[in-house]
């Protein structure tokens, strides 16, 4: 079945360049969740530097005074796990009378550790933030996008939305959910000229890994976890800068295309290409070899 859609090029898709004067009045508006640090903050800065009006949302705006001082950058309190908070923030953002052109669903974190050691509360919180929160914010903005018959929904996934690594079972479950949700949603929104984009970063140089390691450790998995976490930490130290992901987000928001997936950095592109190229058994063997030293699997489980 072939779906029809408008081929008009909405104003938000016109490319812009770094502004030379802070007196320039922004033409386009982006709303970003989880903008207090890492990819979210880098994205807020990247859009602001290119003349966009930025609505940077986070749970505690008072912790980010540097963004608040930037021209055309509005900070709003928004907890993606709280429906009332989401509705208040969206209402406040739209009360200015300025339309929102792009939504960047960035808020999220990852639990790292053996699944057996995770509590039911931690499982719920992981999905509330990474999946249900993303859906709540998207759903709150869709009437606005449909009324305007244009808009871009950018969902931050990960290479972990198409492949898996040890100790990330819950995080992977949420990112695979984001990928499936986004891919299906694009069909529903295309008739309204609303684009859906999936951004897939590889390892990134942020505090993500430090913030993620809050699982109660199980003594039965200690040696296994220690070995893998050491290798994961080394990988993150060599990761791409969040500014590189911000560039990809900007490109996806402004490229006028219906492209769905955007690997965000060279390593992400290589990993995703490799995952599609080789069979499951060979790929998992490569992951074991990279994250668990060769011939040490049985030793690490005691």
pLDDT exceeds 50 at position 56 = yes
Residue for token pair 């509705």: 87
Residue 7 lies in a domain: no
Q: Total structural domains in the chain?
A: 1
Question: Which percentage of the chain shows pLDDT scores above 90?
Answer: 69
Residues 6 or more apart whose CB falls under 8 angstroms from that of 283 comprise: 163, 274, 275
* pLDDT-based confidence at residue 14 (cuts at 50, 70, 90): very low
C-alpha–C-alpha distance, residues 251 and 16, integer Å? 11
Q: Which domain holds residue 163?
A: 21-300
Please state, for a pLDDT cut of 70, what percent of the chain lies above it. 84
Range 264-286 burial, b when 16+ CB lie within 10 A, else e: bbebbeebbeebeeeeeeebeee
Catalytic hit among 36, 157, 158, 182: 157
The reply to whether 205 belongs to the active site is: no
| 37 flagged as catalytic | no
pLDDT of 19:
44
> What is the rounded end-to-end Cα distance, in angstroms, of the chain?
55
Please report whether residue 151 resides in a domain: yes
Mean pLDDT of 149-176: 96
How sure is the predictor about 4, in pLDDT bands with cuts at 50, 70 and 90? Answer: very low
- Res 226: pLDDT: 86
The residue annotated as part of the active site, out of 36, 41, 85, 171, is 171
Residue 205's pLDDT is 79
Residue 227 belongs to a domain: yes
CATH code of residue 138: 3.40.50.720
Active-site annotation holder among 85, 158, 175, 212: 175
pLDDT of residue 124: 97
For the ranges 6-15, 37-46, 224-233, 237-246, the maximum mean pLDDT occurs at: 37-46
Residue 165 falls within a domain, yes or no?
A: yes
Higher pLDDT: 14 or 95? It is: 95
Sheet holding 194-200, edge to edge: 73-77, 53-58, 29-32, 102-105, 151-156, 194-200, 261-263
Within-domain flag for 264 = yes
The secondary structure of residue 204, as a DSSP letter, is B
pLDDT level of residue 118 (50, 70, 90 thresholds): very high
> What is the token pair recorded at 120?
């039911």
pLDDT at 212: 57
| Predicted model pTM | 0.87
Residue 10 counted as domain residue: no
Is 234 part of a structural domain of the chain?
yes
Q: Is residue 208 a part of any domain in this protein?
A: yes
Per the annotation, the verdict on 20 as an active-site residue is: no
The lowest-confidence range among 100-104, 214-218, 276-280 is 214-218
């Amino acid at each position: 079945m072939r779906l029809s859609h408008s081929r008009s090029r909405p104003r938000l898709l016109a490319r812009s360049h770094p502004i030379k004067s802070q007196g320039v009045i922004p033409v386009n508006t982006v709303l970003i969740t989880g903008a207090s640090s890492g990819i979210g903050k880098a994205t807020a800065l990247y859009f602001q530097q290119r003349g966009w009006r930025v609505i940077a949302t986070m749970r505690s705006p008072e912790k980010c005074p540097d963004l608040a001082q930037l021209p055309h950058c509005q900070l709003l309190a928004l907890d993606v796990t709280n429906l009332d908070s989401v509705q208040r923030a969206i209402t406040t953002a739209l009360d200015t009378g300025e339309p929102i052109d792009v939504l960047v669903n960035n808020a999220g974190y990852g639990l790292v550790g053996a699944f057996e050691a995770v509590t039911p509360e931690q499982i719920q919180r992981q999905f509330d933030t990474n999946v249900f929160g993303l859906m709540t914010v998207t759903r709150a903005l869709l009437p606005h996008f449909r009324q305007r018959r244009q808009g871009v929904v950018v969902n931050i996934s990960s290479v972990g939305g198409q492949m898996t690594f040890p100790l990330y079972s819950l995080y992977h479950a949420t990112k695979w959910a984001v990928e499936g949700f986004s891919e299906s949603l694009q069909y529903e929104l295309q008739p309204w000229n609303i684009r859906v984009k999936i951004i897939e970063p590889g390892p990134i140089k942020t505090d993500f890994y430090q913030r993620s390691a809050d699982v109660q450790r199980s003594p039965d998995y200690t040696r296994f976890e220690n070995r893998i976490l050491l290798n994961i930490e080394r990988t993150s130290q060599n990761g791409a800068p969040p500014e590189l992901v911000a560039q990809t987000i900007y490109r996806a928001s402004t490229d006028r295309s219906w492209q769905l997936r955007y690997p965000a950095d060279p390593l992400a592109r290589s990993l995703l290409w490799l995952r599609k190229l080789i069979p499951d058994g060979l790929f998992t063997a490569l992951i074991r070899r990279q994250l668990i030293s060769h011939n040490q699997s049985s030793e690490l489980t005691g």
